């Protein structure tokens, strides 16, 4: 099949040579039969999995030595696109020689990586990454049938982005630690949402329990609540001086968000806390002005006084604010 016979050379070039070769010449396509497998003293497992997102389906055959749990042979049938065939072929190859317990640790990332021509270049376009996810899911299905457990039991964490294998817990931690505010930032930090994009918001391939837009909103809300609580605790206890640095920054941010920031934004500016250092007599809070506030004459006089007075009133009379 000539490259230009498809949708154009540029689209065809988005697939690795391994993928295009296995699309037309899979090495492990076929069937395993019960009588032949049984005659060798082995157990046959046949698992089916279909992807609602595109209508593709794959059937996986495992011939397992029950004495060792080793997959001695494996075949597949794929009903779908060429990428599904290539992904299923590599997935099948990766299973052979492994125990069932080892095979279930093979992920869609392993499948996609094995299809690359070089380690740095993706094997398929982002929108076709779900084909390798299907290969991963059918492995779990086969392992569950052999071990007599539900396939979901192999997933230790809630996976939000199946393409990049990013969990809910990882997303929440990364958003908090790096103060992420946009979906684009989440993708830059974790790769979640960078492939088929169905995990970003409703309306993708199929309905999901978790979407990045909701996780971001919920996590940001939780962060704001933590800031407000830290500020309230500091105001009630008068113990700002004894907080950890992280707690102090959260408390300062909460007070700024509630009392100051909206006025800065109205004038086209903003500010951020850079550092907090405790001296012998003062707690020095270093800030950086942003936007229109940067270089404004009032930023060193009236605005600075308003910020410092508010923080002194809400947190500690020993606070001193220093712009840098």
The whole-number pLDDT of residue 10 equals: 58
We report the CATH number of the domain holding residue 106 as 3.90.1010.10
Q: Give domain status of residue 226, yes or no.
A: no
Q: Give domain status of residue 65, yes or no.
A: yes
Residue numbers of the domain that contains 60:
3-154
We report the CATH number of the domain holding residue 285 as 3.30.300.130
**Total domain count for the chain?**
3
Rg (C-alpha) for the chain, rounded Å, is 28
Pair 213, 120 in one domain: no
Pair 242, 121 in one domain: no
Pair 206, 252 in one domain: no
Pair 206, 265 in one domain: no
Distance between CA 236 and CA 15 in Å, rounded?
A: 61
Partnered with residue 272 across adjacent β-strands are 288
Pair 17, 142 in one domain: yes
Distance between CA 98 and CA 53 in Å, rounded?
A: 30
Query: Cα–chain-centroid distance for residue 17?
Result: 28
Pair 172, 53 in one domain: no
Pair 242, 147 in one domain: no
Distance between CA 234 and CA 115 in Å, rounded?
A: 55
Pair 49, 145 in one domain: yes
Q: Give domain status of residue 254, yes or no.
A: yes
Pair 91, 40 in one domain: yes
Q: Give domain status of residue 89, yes or no.
A: yes
| CA proximity to 163, closest of 273, 33, 51 | 51
Give the tokens for residue 34: 């019960």
The residues that are catalytic are 54, 131
Distance between CA 158 and CA 253 in Å, rounded?
A: 31
- Each residue's pLDDT, cut to its tens digit, for the chain (324 residues) gives 444 444 444 567 889 999 999 999 999 999 999 999 999 999 999 999 886 556 778 999 999 999 999 999 999 998 878 888 999 999 999 999 999 999 999 888 889 899 999 988 888 887 777 777 788 889 999 999 999 998 877 877 888 998 888 889 889 988 988 888 999 999 988 888 988 888 999 986 678 899 999 999 999 999 888 877 777 666 655 678 888 888 899 889 989 998 999 899 988 999 999 999 998 899 999 999 999 888 888 888 999 999 999 999 989 999 999 998
DSSP letters spanning 83-117: HHHHHHHHHHHHHTTSBHHHHTT--HHHHHHHT-S
Pair 182, 43 in one domain: no
Pair 172, 145 in one domain: no
Pair 28, 131 in one domain: yes
| CA proximity to 281, closest of 251, 315, 253, 318 | 318
The whole-number pLDDT of residue 299 equals: 84
């Amino acid at each position: 099949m000539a490259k230009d016979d498809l949708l154009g050379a540029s689209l065809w070039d988005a697939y690795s040579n391994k993928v295009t070769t296995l699309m037309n010449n899979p090495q492990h396509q076929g069937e395993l039969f019960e009588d032949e497998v049984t005659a060798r003293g082995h157990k046959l497992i046949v698992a089916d999995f279909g992807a609602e997102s595109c209508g593709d389906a794959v059937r996986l055959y495992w011939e397992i030595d029950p004495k060792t749990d080793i997959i001695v042979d494996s075949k597949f049938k794929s009903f779908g696109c060429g990428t599904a065939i290539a992904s299923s072929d590599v997935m099948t190859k990766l299973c052979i020689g492994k125990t069932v317990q080892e095979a279930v640790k093979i992920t869609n990332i392993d499948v996609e990586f094995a299809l690359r021509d070089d380690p740095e270049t993706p094997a398929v376009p982002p929108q076709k990454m779900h084909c390798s996810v299907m290969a991963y899911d059918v492995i779990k299905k086969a392992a569950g049938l052999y071990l007599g457990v539900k396939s979901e039991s192999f997933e230790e964490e809630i996976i939000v982005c199946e393409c990049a294998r990013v969990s809910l817990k990882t997303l929440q931690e990364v958003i908090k630690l790096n103060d992420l505010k946009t979906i684009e930032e989440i993708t830059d930090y974790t790769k979640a949402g960078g492939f088929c994009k169905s995990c970003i918001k409703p309306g993708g391939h199929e309905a999901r329990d978790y979407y990045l837009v909701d996780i971001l909103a919920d996590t940001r809300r939780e962060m704001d609540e933590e800031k407000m609580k830290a500020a309230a605790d500091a105001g009630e206890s008068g113990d700002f001086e004894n907080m950890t640095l992280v707690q102090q920054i959260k408390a300062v941010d909460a007070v700024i968000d509630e009392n100051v920031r909206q006025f800065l934004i109205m004038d086209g500016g903003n500010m951020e806390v850079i550092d907090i250092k405790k001296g012998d007599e003062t707690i020095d809070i270093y800030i950086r002005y942003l936007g229109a506030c940067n270089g404004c004459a009032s930023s060193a006089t009236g605005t600075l006084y308003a910020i410092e007075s508010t923080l002194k009133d809400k947190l500690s009379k020993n606070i001193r604010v220093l712009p840098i």
